[in-house]
A and B are shown apart, each in its own frame.
Chain A
Amino acid sequence: MNALGFAWRSLVRQPARATLGILGVAAVGALLFDMLLLSEGLVISMRELLDRMGFEIRVTATDQLPGRGPDILDAAAVASSIATLPSVRSVMTMRTEDATIEQSDGTELRASLLGAGGESLRPWTVLRGRDVSGQREIVVNDYASRTLGVEPDATVTLRASCAGGAEAPPPMEFRIVGVAEFPFDTPGASELGTTASALAAACGAEAESSADFIVVQSTGDADAAAGEISALRPDLRPFTNDQAIGQMERGGFTYFRQISSVLTTVTLSFAMLLITVLLTVSVNQRLGEVAALRALGFSRRRVVLDVLCESALIVGIGGILSLPLGMLLAMWLDKILKGMPGIPTSLHFFVFEPQALWMHAALLAATAILAALYPMRIVARLPIAATLRNEVIG
């Protein structure tokens, strides 16, 4: 019988302890798997979200990420000059202001009004109706449509709150022409989309003046396009998607990576300690048996291998069970974290990628080996005659 088969029989002989050991590894392994998914999940998910918009570069007025720094002044002219660059395919200005919509019962619905300027490209995807084309037309997200009880062709009275609430222009009537999905839709938040000039009008201006940031689609080489933009406008800061993600990783995203590292370390140490204790106690209880096997002709290498195989079986079976458990746990934890305000519906904290699976397997394998070291040392150094004698006298 080979070492693995022998180890399997040792486990089966003690079903309660073996089952509990495997279940313990499964629970710890599930947590470990989730921490590996969490370490890169937010970054992968955000990258997918940015890539899905189809624009590889975001241009801002300062080093701050889009939406956090000051506005770009004279945005339409800036966008036009960027559009002339050879490596640029299309350009769009983006400006967001708060707005309130009067509801039929007299109350007001707070919403975010996004004005997109430039060519025919829009950051949203129309689900029903059509896209905005003229003045005083808006698209709304599904939540706003349901809350207001309106469908395309309805008219709403909208009051924009511009310049951080400093300007309060008079309310204006807008026609809803479609229901759209916005890339950064958040649960329970109303989003409205219109043209940059319509947003400027809602803010009481005659023409589009400023933008929060400008998004740019390159002809293929985002880095080259970003370089050309920097050369054209040294006062502006173009971010490629990779650079934006890098900045986010250094900022708020880093918290989840750090907590993932801490919990991965704690989980692995915990698993290793417990499996070591489990195997050591198990080996100590079977010292006479091991000595007898050695006396019968089992080599030292073979009994050491038996212990290692036992560890591998506990960790291996527990590790396999931990994957479905981990996926279920990840869904639960993701749901909890997505309860944070301002988290887009399509953003996830736990994202599966094959690399996490390999890392999980490698870490558990290392744990199995390290956990078996001490009990392996005990059986390797076991004095056969003395142990058998003690066993008989005891």
Chain B
Amino acid sequence: MRSVRPLVFLVALSGVWCGLLLHAQEGPLPSILIARQLAEIEGLAVGDTVELATDAQGGMARTFHVAGIYEPTPDPMRLGETPREVRLHLPDLLELTRDESTPAGTEYVEAINVALVDPSDAQAFSERLNATIPGLVARPTSGAAGSGSTFVVLERFHLAIAAVTILASTVFLLALTIMLVDERREAVGMLRLIGLPARRILMQVLLEGLLIASSGAVFGLVLARASEYLINTFFQWRYDTALIFVRVTPEVAAVCVAIAVPLGAAATVTASWALLRRSGLRLARR
């Protein structure tokens, strides 16, 4: 029999979650699920028996049968922490943690998850519950954290970084297009001298800019897709988690293209504009 010694665990409602999963596998001993990371650290496998206690001294320990190993739901708030978790049936958890002075059936739970028939009714349902049961706080899971939540703030931070990057790219892009346009000064001068109007040449420059910007945007998306794989693989290995760190969604790709293509075309036209205002003769002069 193996013993998980300092397993002063933080299991609260997990019993509710895994109740159905464990139901079919109950044996003579109460069964539990072990987090993959904990199983690896302690060398546990399906079929083992373990003792769980609520204090470090192992007082009031109870024996459980390991019914399965599970991958914990990735939690960004606990990044870098090794999840030493087990999941029990709620009655087993209450039995294990109940104080001697607490009669069975009078224990408390920290939260109750409710699945609605119509999920869009969540707000109204929460309001009804809050109004009818004093002391109870009900709130929809979606958007519960509000605009000040960690991930909303991180998203704002990433957007700010993206804005600075776009600004720097725009400045560089302008410098490059000015140089490239300058390189073609003589060719533009010749076109003006043989009779092409400035508007016609500007249209050609715009189309060229659009083509280059579109190609660049597509290349950027391919690069982002490759980076997505590399970054996720590295960080999932680094933190031993199934969490997805980078995801290039169609919406993100659309926003990138919507910014990159007009920006590239605008930079080309802006750089060409000053050149096209000069006379053909002046441009063609060596």
Contact assessment for A24 and B171 in the assembled complex, using a CB-CB cutoff below 8 Å: yes
Minimal beta-carbon separation of B21 from chain A (angstroms): 26
B147 (CB) vs chain A CBs: closest residue: A339
Taken together as a complex, chains A and B put the C-alpha atoms of A267 and B178 apart, in Å, by 23
Contact assessment for B164 and A336 in the assembled complex, using a CB-CB cutoff below 8 Å: no
A-B contact pairs, 24 of them (CB 8 A): A17-B175, A20-B171, A20-B178, A24-B168, A24-B171, A27-B167, A28-B168, A69-B8, A70-B8, A165-B108, A255-B80, A258-B235, A270-B165, A270-B169, A274-B172, A274-B176, A278-B172, A278-B175, A333-B157, A333-B161, A336-B153, A336-B157, A339-B156, A341-B149
A:120-163 near B, CB below 8 Å: none
Contact assessment for B160 and A332 in the assembled complex, using a CB-CB cutoff below 8 Å: yes
Task: Return the contact of A31 from the options B165, B171, B178, B180 (Cβ within 8 A).
Answer: B165
Taken together as a complex, chains A and B put the C-alpha atoms of A235 and B56 apart, in Å, by 8
B174 within 8 A of partner (CB) = yes
The 4 closest A-B pairs by CB, nearest first: A20-B175, A27-B168, A24-B172, A24-B171
Contact assessment for B168 and A165 in the assembled complex, using a CB-CB cutoff below 8 Å: no
A interface, over-half SS: helix
Give the chain A neighbours of B8 by CB distance below 8 A: 61-62, 69-70
Seen from chain A, the residues whose Cβ lies within 8 Å of a Cβ on chain B are 16-17, 20-21, 23-24, 27-28, 30-31, 61-63, 69-70, 164-166, 235, 250-252, 254-255, 258, 262-263, 267, 270, 274, 277-278, 281-282, 284-285, 329, 332-333, 336-337, 339-341
Number of A-B residue pairs at CB separation under 8 A: 101
B80 (CB) vs chain A CBs: closest residue: A251
Minimal beta-carbon separation of A78 from chain B (angstroms): 14
A278 (CB) vs chain B CBs: closest residue: B175
Seen from chain B, the residues whose Cβ lies within 8 Å of a Cβ on chain A are 6, 8, 55-57, 77, 79-81, 108, 110, 145, 148-150, 153-154, 156-157, 160-161, 164-165, 167-169, 171-172, 174-176, 178-180, 182-183, 231, 235, 238
Taken together as a complex, chains A and B put the C-alpha atoms of A274 and B157 apart, in Å, by 25
Give the chain A neighbours of B164 by CB distance below 8 A: 27, 30-31, 329
Give the chain B neighbours of A339 by CB distance below 8 A: 148, 153, 156
* Given A27-B171, A281-B183, residue A341 in contact with residue B150 (CB < 8 A): yes
Additional 15 contacts, C-beta under 8 A, given A62-B8, A284-B183: A17-B178, A24-B175, A27-B171, A31-B164, A61-B56, A62-B6, A63-B6, A166-B108, A254-B79, A270-B165, A337-B153, A339-B156, A340-B150, A340-B153, A340-B154
